[in-house]
Amino acid sequence: MPDQDCIFCDIIAGDLPSDQVGENEAAVAFRDINPRAPVHLLVVPRRHRTSAHDLTAHDGDELAQVFTLAREVAEAAGTADGYRVVTNVGRGGGQMVDHLHFHVLGGRQLRHIDSGASPQD
Ligand code: AMP
């Protein structure tokens, strides 16, 4: 069920514009409006739930489609050297939009997580 106050549900429904780069049965991908890397895409499951914290063992097929789309749009964006897939959970985890989504970041050298970098560095 779409959430009435969710901007990503509105984008998926076509009620809000987005710069869409791909889609499949389970998910839609579009460019982040405030990119933090040369490639910064969002892969968003069509089905509304708040975050990865709400996923269960029943979501395996849907997640496989989500990650398939992430791979396709990352390849299409030319991130052949590698990229990062990140999901934030809750305000304490930096989540601002309460609809599960995966950031696909690339197009430049990303810092190793051991360097103290945030996931978007
Ligand atoms: P998070 O902080 O993980 O919830 O990420 C939410 C992301 O959504 C941020 O990177 C925002 O820049 C991005 N965002 C918010 N509104 C839009 C929009 N209308 N179209 C594309 N990206 C958006």
Measure the N-to-C terminal CA separation of the chain; round to a whole number of Å. Answer: 34
Whether residue 102 contacts residue 86, with contact meaning beta carbons closer than 8 Å, is answered with yes
Which pLDDT does position 119 carry in this prediction? 64
Residue from 96, 98, 100 to probe ligand 1 pocket by mutation (most atoms less than 8 Å from CB): 96
pLDDT higher than threshold 90 for residue 111: no
pTM of the model: 0.95
What is the whole-number distance in angstroms between the Cα of residue 102 and the centre of ligand 1? 10
* Calpha distance 56→37 (Å, rounded): 31
pLDDT digits (tens, 9 = 90+) for 9-42: 999 999 999 999 999 999 999 999 999 999 999 9
* pLDDT level of residue 4 (50, 70, 90 thresholds): confident
Q: Whose CA is nearest to atom 16 of ligand 1?
A: 33
